[in-house]
Amino acid sequence: MEQSWPCVGCGYCCIRQTCTFGRQRHPQATGQLCPELTWNGKRYVCRMMTLSDSMTAFYREQLQAGLGCRSYCNPWRSEVRKRTVDEMASVAGESYYGEKAKKKAS
Ligand code: SF4
Ligand code: SF4
């Protein structure tokens, strides 16, 4: 049986690449940190997973919420904390996080 790795909220997957739904909901944020990604003091969470509208179940199903981490070898998993802009840029590419994103993350 395939091993399942739980999501620990390290943020790596979403910071590395905004998903289709994040881009569709926030076209103005192209090339920036996904506006739905939030640091809650302990871990990163996606606000879309906690909305109470009719689309929430669809988003959760499409993004496979609760089914584990597919980026289980990434180095951030072992140290969950709020990441600096430079750390974000190191996994997403410098061009991904421009000046606007730096201001938002600081
Ligand atoms: S990389 Fe894995 S552990 Fe980190 S936020 Fe994404 S799913 Fe969760
Ligand atoms: S919409 Fe949610 S799952 Fe998609 S990239 Fe943004 S924070 Fe991650």
- Considering the domain boundaries, does residue 2 fall inside one? no
- Considering the domain boundaries, does residue 1 fall inside one? no
pLDDT of residue 92: 87
Using a pLDDT cut of 90, give the percent of the chain over it.
58
Cβ of residue 71 lying under 6 Å from some atom of ligand 1: yes
- For the whole model, what pTM was predicted? 0.87
- The domain of 50 spans 12-105
- Considering the domain boundaries, does residue 26 fall inside one? yes
pLDDT of residue 4: 82
Mean pLDDT calculated for residue range 7-17: 95
Cβ of residue 74 lying under 6 Å from some atom of ligand 1: yes
Name residues whose C-beta falls within 8 Å of residue 86's C-beta, 6 or more positions apart in sequence. Answer: none
- Considering the domain boundaries, does residue 81 fall inside one? yes
How many domains does the chain divide into?
1
- 1: pLDDT strictly greater than 70: no
- Considering the domain boundaries, does residue 4 fall inside one? no
Cβ of residue 34 lying under 6 Å from some atom of ligand 2: yes
Please state, in angstroms and rounded to a whole number, the distance separating the CA atoms of residues 103 and 80.
22
pLDDT confidence tier of residue 54, bands split at 50, 70 and 90:
confident
- Considering the domain boundaries, does residue 7 fall inside one? no
